[in-house]
Chains A and B, each alone.
Chain A
Amino acid sequence: MNSRSRKEYDVVVIGAGHNGLTNAAFLAKSGLDVLVVEKNDHIGGATVSRELYSGWKYSNCSYVCSLFRPEIYQALDLGRHGLEVVPLQGGITFKQDGDFYGNYHHHEVRRREIARHSQRDADAVIRFDADLMKWCRLIRGLLMRTPPDPGTFKPRDFMELAFLLKKFYELSESQLYEFIRFFTMSIAEYLEEYFESDVVLAHYSGGSIIGTGLGVYSPGTAYVLLHHAMGDVDGSVGSWGFAKGGMGSVSGAIASAYQSFGGEIRTSAEVRSIDVQSGQAQGVVLDSGETIRARQVVSNLDVKRTYLGIMESKDLPDEVIKRAKNYKIRGSSGKLNIALDGMPEFPALPKGSPLTLGHMHFSDSLERLERAYDDWKDQRWSTDPYTDTLIPTQFDPSMAPPGKHMMTVFVQYCPADIEGGWTDEKRDAFGQTVIDQISEYSPNFKDLILHTEIRTPRELEAEVGLTEGNIFQGELTLDQLLFNRPFPGYAQYRGPVRNMYMCGSTTHPGGGVMGAPGVNAAREILKDLKRTDTTPEDFGDD
């Protein structure tokens, strides 16, 4: 122990989430001596596969894989380290009247399906898809870049601003305005410019509220469509995928790549504080009292945990403490992971329908979605929640015993603070609300349940270390995006003390299992250390 603590690392990364690991991997790749410390006995943060019921593996936090940048996959050779992503197609929204909307993957089939609900919507979907793809291409080019700081006169900030302007100037004038509108509108109002059918509107808008303290009518939710459309699996833009073996395979593969570059990981090593002396980070102190010395310290934690948790206020400017306190990080989601004795039946669907292979939802109107949000605003879990339900064992039998299934149910909304505080009884009642909703559409569902893990923001915060259980490490609203993320003046991954950096989803471009914040932070660190840049360039338009 003592010999180890005397060693000085080049970099210590706090937290083995997917961004922390990605960051560490690129630093180690450049030859730096890197250590990742993790409080839990397993790595991955919110990208994990856990066996909580014998024979079943749960991706019990994040559950699908799409946004993960292909540049990273390639640069770290993650395929060789065991990451395999299976494309997942389609989706369905069940209607209360027994009908459904099937979001078939093939665009012709999908258009026929939309026409079943509205002929006008079937016409509009062509325009809708084309517009969305346009924004995707534009925005994908911005993910792997450090945002410029509009408050400085540094040449690189000017250059970056000029780059962005040039990029936008490739758009026509009316596209420019449409782009601004797209970023500032609510998903409901944006979609209402195209569609009229309730179930179509509900199907496409649901994804925009996932993980946020916003409703479908809240401005700023339209662009979240991109989070669902800009990812790609095997070069197919807009596809979603399951990581074979669960989301733990993502973090596992990155960790394996990292270790192949000589990186070290220590689990069950919770950081008590970042050691700062004369305005310079010197390393970290663990809960055990052990000190780990390092020339650079990188935090994968959100800003509240970092600045208000493991740093001393005396080491920080007042401005940063105020900003951290005011940082908006709202717990709004819950999760159920369910072990099933067999495949549940959905009588609304024809036998053998491929629609159960994709995302399943049970909210068929904008009003129901918005009312679910009203419950959350009033500090209650939604009595009629929006869920994103998937049964990944249909693709990946390795996650459950033969013939059995695993269901993951992401639930919006579930507040971090509820009237009177969370208790185990309230958690179970929350879970029951969700189970009841699903069984309205699947009569045999309840009988198939063998085990259920219910996670409210309380559990997500305690286990994963996400403040309030916010899956994005901070709201993705305009006031906390781009050069405002996490705070104005601190958007370039450098912390307020020297040799200290941030690399989590709390930084640009934010949450989702994307890896971009980790890469961007690595690029900045390598630049400061004047080392060769090992981070990949973005693929740009592909």
Chain B
Amino acid sequence: MTNPSSVCVVGGGHNGLVCAIMLAKAGWHVTVLEARASLGGAIAPRTFAPGFQAPGLAHHYGQLHPKILKELGLSPKGGPPIDTIALDRSGDHATLGGTEASGNGLTSEDKKAYSAFKADYTAFAQALEPLLLNKPPRLKDMGRDDQWTLAKIGWSLRFGLGVPSMREFLRVGGANICDVLNEIFDNELIKGAIAADAVMGHHLGPRTPTSVLPFLLRTFSESHSGPTVSAHHGNHLASDLERIALSYGIELRTETKVERIRVVNERAAGVVLEGGESIDSDVVVSNVDAKSTFLTLTGACNLDAMFTHRISKTRTNGNVAKLHLGLSAAPQFEGLSAAQLQHRIVIAPDMRFVERAFNHAKYGEYSPHPIVDITIPSLRDPSLAPDGKHVMSISASFAPYKLKEGWDHGRAGFRKVLIDTIEPYVPGMEALIEAEEFLSPVDIENEYGIAGGHWHHGEMTIDQAFMMRPIHGTAQYDTPVKDLFLCGASAHPGGGVTGIPGWNAAKRILSLHQERG
């Protein structure tokens, strides 16, 4: 690279910001273009009623990877790691922590099994680190860096895990989470809560083969520090990234919607904004999902027909709806202490419940008995609600993007289902509701510009993971259009608040430019 290059980053989500900062650190001239009013994308807080603020999409998540935190000069933020409280119909709720489980209904075998399970799966997840923290190696014509990555993965599995664990890893890697949990646990409540974590955000049921993989990826992102409630911490991550970005002289433009990526002579030459303004740059990086990037922003006319076909066939239909409630007082969950309410609360009493909830999604129906994942962020950060009042954030599955009856019609029904699901645990909850907002996957698509409203910018099953994410041929962050790159969750290693796609993409862009001189 002779002269510092200019780059437009389309989308100011956390991955876009991480990528922007890395490039700015290398001396590039960076402009971030964000369509919404605030930066941070899915982690940005949103005001849904006067005085009430809710976490956007992600209401709890792990820290950015320590390597990225270090690179950005950030220290780990947020409150202490949270536990998962699995609600039990008869009141014997279980608390599932980072390493230990507790609760009246749990036997000592259950607790032992839980600790062993967490240790094993954390080890499995961390064994994947060399794969996740690098661009996915190509399987043919690989460069030295790809060979090195493969060697590190082999080493990590064979010697990091050791032979017995490696054998087990190779077996469960393609298995379904239902079988795995049945082998390990007797306790239905534990199985239900873990299975819910595995399938949440995906189009999967516990019995769907390969449902272990998304669980491993989730475990990876939570393995460096437990997940935290994104109240407080979320605001800080988005604003921290913004502060660092500004300190490197990055130009941050919000409420600036990119209409298309300008392609000249088969290379990206900049972007055209809504309203007609055109910005030239040497490189364009898209934090937007792959479908929108290629089919909407780049346009099929600039792409190979088969490539376009394959992109359009990627599975990106979301399954999570979000309900934000402004409550006049703190809700009382039967059998939970005030301290416990600061954690996340999950309704998924057993695996059959989770599987049945999924059945409906296959036919374009919402679950009549959905999985519900609740946080009450205002308990940690009172500034999110007016004095004495509270915010409840609810993620619920399954709420398929392609609802047969349509979301205009279905939203009232699913909202009622959610309240009816929670009410038995929080008697009188309906009466507490002062303000509310319901986001279906279609709303999420419109609000956040994610095709299909998919949390992870696309299913994270094996056929859409690693060197096949989002599709093969554009899995190493570069795309068929020269100087156009992907840096969002539709790139390897996918969704979750990890910052890794943005980080990997930046490394890739810089090394390609170094090669070209």
Contacts and interface: CB of A to CB of B under 8 A. Distances in A.
Contacts of B173: 478-479
Contacts of B174: 184, 220, 477-479
Given A192-B313, A218-B209, A479-B172, A374 B359 contact: yes
B461 A184 contact: yes
Given A173-B141, A370-B362, A150 B209 contact: no
A524 to B, nearest CB: 20
A383 B10 CA distance: 51
Nearest to B471: A177
A478 B209 contact: yes
B292 interface: no
Contacts of A184: 174, 210, 461-463
Given A173-B138, A174-B472, A370-B362, A220 B463 contact: no
A87 interface: no
B151 interface: no
A218 B138 contact: no
A306 interface: no
Contacts of B359: 374, 377
A160 B363 CA distance: 44
Interface stretch (A2-10, A107-115, A131-139, A481-489): A481-489
A6 B363 CA distance: 64
A343 interface: no
A488 B170 contact: yes
A181 B167 contact: no
Given A177-B472, A367-B363, A219 B462 contact: yes
Interface string B170-207: 11111110010001000000000000000000000001
B6 interface: no
A177 to B, nearest CB: 4
A395 interface: no
Interface centre among A169, A193, A477 (most CB of B within 10 A): A477
B50 to A, nearest CB: 44
Contacts of A305: none
Interface in A130-173: 150-151, 169, 172-173
B461 A488 contact: no
B498 to A, nearest CB: 23
Contacts of B315: 189
A479 B140 contact: no
B313 A181 contact: no
Given A150-B170, A177-B468, A484-B171, A328 B179 contact: yes
Contacts of A371: 363
Contacts of B170: 150, 483-484, 488
Contacts of A218: 207-209
A217 interface: yes
A176 interface: yes
A172 B209 contact: no
B172 A489 contact: no
Interface in A168-200: 169, 172-174, 176-178, 180-181, 184-185, 189, 192-193
A218 B461 CA distance: 11
B140 A169 contact: yes
B166 A151 contact: yes
A414 to B, nearest CB: 17
A122 interface: no
A247 B183 CA distance: 37
Given A377-B355, A477-B209, A174 B463 contact: no
A434 interface: no
Nearest to B360: A374
B467 to A, nearest CB: 6
Given A219-B462, A377-B355, A214 B209 contact: yes
Interface string B353-371: 0011001001100000000
Interface string A195-218: 000000000000000000010011
Interface in B150-178: 163, 166-168, 170-176
A326 interface: yes
A219 B210 contact: yes
Contacts of A181: 462-463, 468
B168 A173 contact: no
A377 B166 contact: no
Interface in A218-234: 218-220
A189 B313 CA distance: 9
Contacts of A377: 207, 355, 359
Contacts of A172: 140
Contacts of A477: 174-176, 209
B139 interface: yes
B473 interface: yes
Contact of B167 (A173, A217, A220, A488): A488
Contact of B168 (A176, A214, A488): A488
Given A177-B468, A488-B167, A219 B461 contact: yes
B462 A180 contact: yes
A96 to B, nearest CB: 17
Contacts of B461: 184-185, 219
Given A189-B315, A377-B355, A484-B170, A173 B362 contact: no
Interface string B49-68: 00000000000000000000
Nearest to B356: A378
Given A177-B472, A184-B463, A478 B210 contact: yes
Given A184-B462, A193-B313, A326-B183, A177 B139 contact: yes
B209 A488 contact: no
Contacts of A150: 166-167, 170
Contact of B362 (A151, A176, A217): A217
Contacts of A178: 472
Contacts of A484: 170-171
Nearest to B468: A177
A468 to B, nearest CB: 15
A193 B311 CA distance: 11
Contacts of B467: 177
Contacts of A478: 173-175, 209-210
- Among B138, B208, B313, max chain A CB count under 10 A is at B208
Interface in B323-376: 355-356, 359, 362-363
B365 to A, nearest CB: 11
Contacts of B176: 477
Residue with the greatest number of chain B CB neighbours at <10 A, chosen from A169, A192, A377, A378: A377
B209 A185 contact: no
A180 to B, nearest CB: 7
Interface string B9-51: 0000000000000000000000000000000000000000000
B386 to A, nearest CB: 46
Given A173-B140, A177-B467, A220 B209 contact: yes
Contact of A176 (B140, B171, B208, B463): B140
A374 B352 CA distance: 11
Nearest to B169: A488
Contacts of A169: 140
A478 B213 CA distance: 12
Contact of A219 (B138, B168, B209, B362): B209
Interface in B414-467: 461-463, 467
Given A173-B139, A479-B175, A180 B362 contact: no
Nearest to B163: A151
Given A176-B140, A217-B362, A220-B209, 7 more contacts: A151-B167, A173-B141, A184-B210, A214-B209, A328-B179, A477-B175, A479-B175
25 contacts: A150-B166, A150-B167, A172-B140, A173-B141, A173-B472, A177-B467, A177-B472, A180-B468, A181-B462, A184-B210, A184-B461, A184-B462, A189-B463, A217-B362, A218-B209, A370-B363, A377-B207, A477-B174, A478-B173, A478-B210, A479-B171, A479-B173, A479-B209, A488-B168, A488-B171
